[in-house]
Amino acid sequence: MKKSLLLLASVLFCAITFAQSVPQGINYQAVARDANGDVLMNQTLTIQFSVISDLATSAVSWQETHTVTTNDYGLFTAIIGGGTTTSVGNSATFDVIDWGASNHFLKVEVDYGSGLVDMGTTAFMSVPYAINSTPQSLTISGDTLFISSGNYIIIPNISLINQLTVGCTDPLGVNYDPNANLDDGSCTLPMLGDYYLGGVVFYLDGNGGGLICDIQDIATAPFGCDGISVPASNSTAFGTGAQNTFNLWYDCGSSAFCGGQTASGPQHITTAPSYNAPHCYTGATECYLSNAQGYNDWFLPSKDEFLAIDLGMVDSVALANGGTTFNYNPIPGSFGMDGEYLTSSIHTLYPTSYYYKIIVSSFSNTYYMQSTNGSLGEARYVRAIRAF
C-alpha cells in the first residue's frame, strides 16, 4: 500500500538584501505527517523546491533539493535558495531569479523513500519580491529628490540639509571647523602644551578657559612710568595682566616716562596710534598693540601669570610652530647673566621706582625662574600672553 505524506508548512519569508558574498534565501518550515496524520519523527526526507514563474505552463525558474531530518515533533526546516540545484529552470542561480517579471509560485515535493510526492503549489506573497530590490541612485536638486528609476519626491527644505557641513562648531575647540554648520560632537577642548589660537596653552582655569603664551618675544622695551604712580597696575595676581597692560598703556605711555630707552625687536610696533599721546614704546604698549599670529588681544603678563609659564614646554611647542625659545642670555649692555623679562606688575612697595621682572635661565634642559625688582626705565625682553 502506497503511503501518503502530509505537510503542515510555514514559509518564513525573510526579505533581506544581502551583500554579494552572502547567499539570498527564504526560510521554510514544515511538519511531516503520514496518511493517518501521525507525525513522522526523526525521519530523513528529501525535499524538492521548484520556483514556478508561469503557473499555466508550469515553467520552472529555479529548482533545488534538500536532505532534511525531522525532529521529535516531525518538524524540519530548510532555506529556499540554499539547496542543491537540479539544473532545472531558466535561472542559473537563485539570486538571479527575476521576481519582478511575473507572479511566482512555490511547488513542494517530498521523497520519504519511495520517490517524490507532490505536496502542492502555493503562490509567493509580496515579501519575497523585496529580493528584487534593484539598487537605485539618488540625486538632489533644490527641494526635489530624484530616483534613478525616474520617480521623484519633493521634500520641503531638503536643500538646506544638502548644504550642511558636519564638524566641530565650538570656536574654543582645538579642532574647530569654521565651515561646519552642524556640530557632530567631536569638539575637544585645549590641553596644556597645545598650540592653540596663536600660541601655547600654559594655564587652564578648569572652566574651559586659560592663558596662551606667544611663540616669540615681541621686542625689548622699557617698562616706562618712570617717576609716576599707577596704583591700578600694582596687582601681581592671575587675571590682572590684561587690565595692568591697559592701565600702563593709557596712564604712562608718554615719551616723557620712557627713561630714555627705546624699543626694538622682531615684532616691534613701528607705528603706535595716539590715545593718551604721545606714547612711547613701552612693554605694555608693544603687547597692547601687537597683532601676532592674527590676534590683537595680547597683553603683558602679571608677575604670577608669568611665573606659571612652563618654559621648556613653551620653547618646544614654539619651535615646532615657527617661533623661538625664550631668551636666556642677558640683553647686551645689561649687568645680568641671564634673560630678564618685563611683567605688568608695578612694585607694591616702590611703585614710582620699581616693577617686578622675571629672570629666566636654562641649563641642561632644566629651567629656572625667579621674580626680582626691576628699574622702570630699563629695557628688557617682552613676551606677550592672551586669554581664552
| CATH number of the domain residue 11 falls in | 2.60.40
d(CA 78, CA 89): 20
Domain match, 211 and 345 both: yes
The residues with which 146 forms a beta bridge, in sequence order, are 139, 152
First and final C-alpha spacing in the chain:
96
Domain match, 85 and 152 both: no
d(CA 132, CA 344): 77
Domain match, 236 and 361 both: yes
pTM as predicted? 0.54
d(CA 158, CA 174): 31
Domain match, 210 and 357 both: yes
DSSP 113: S
Q: How confident is the model at residue 136 (pLDDT cuts 50, 70, 90)?
A: low
Residue 210, classed as helix, strand or coil, is strand
Give the pLDDT score at 223. Answer: 86
Q: Is the peptide bond before 278 cis (omega within 30 degrees of 0)?
A: yes
Domain match, 48 and 80 both: yes
Q: How confident is the model at residue 355 (pLDDT cuts 50, 70, 90)?
A: very high
- Average pLDDT on 176-183 reads 85
Domain match, 225 and 169 both: no
C-alpha cell at 72: 521529535
Give the pLDDT score at 161. Answer: 57
Domain match, 23 and 107 both: yes
Q: What is the pLDDT of residues 66-104, one digit of tens each?
A: 999 999 999 999 999 999 999 999 999 998 888 878 889
Domain match, 234 and 332 both: yes
Using the 3D structure, point to which of 132, 159, 176 is the last residue of a domain. Answer: 132
Range of the domain at 69: 5-132
Domain match, 264 and 143 both: no
Domain match, 58 and 122 both: yes
Q: How confident is the model at residue 327 (pLDDT cuts 50, 70, 90)?
A: very high
Give the pLDDT score at 265. Answer: 42
Domain match, 56 and 177 both: no
249 contacts 257 by C-beta, under 8 angstroms: no
Give the pLDDT score at 341. Answer: 96
Give the pLDDT score at 200. Answer: 98
Beta carbons within 10 angstroms of residue 292's beta carbon: 19
Give the pLDDT score at 255. Answer: 43
Count the domains in the chain. 3
Q: What is the pLDDT of residues 29-61, one digit of tens each?
A: 998 887 788 888 999 999 999 999 988 888 999
Q: How confident is the model at residue 192 (pLDDT cuts 50, 70, 90)?
A: very high
Cα within 13 Å of Cα(186), Cβ side: 12
Domain match, 299 and 222 both: yes
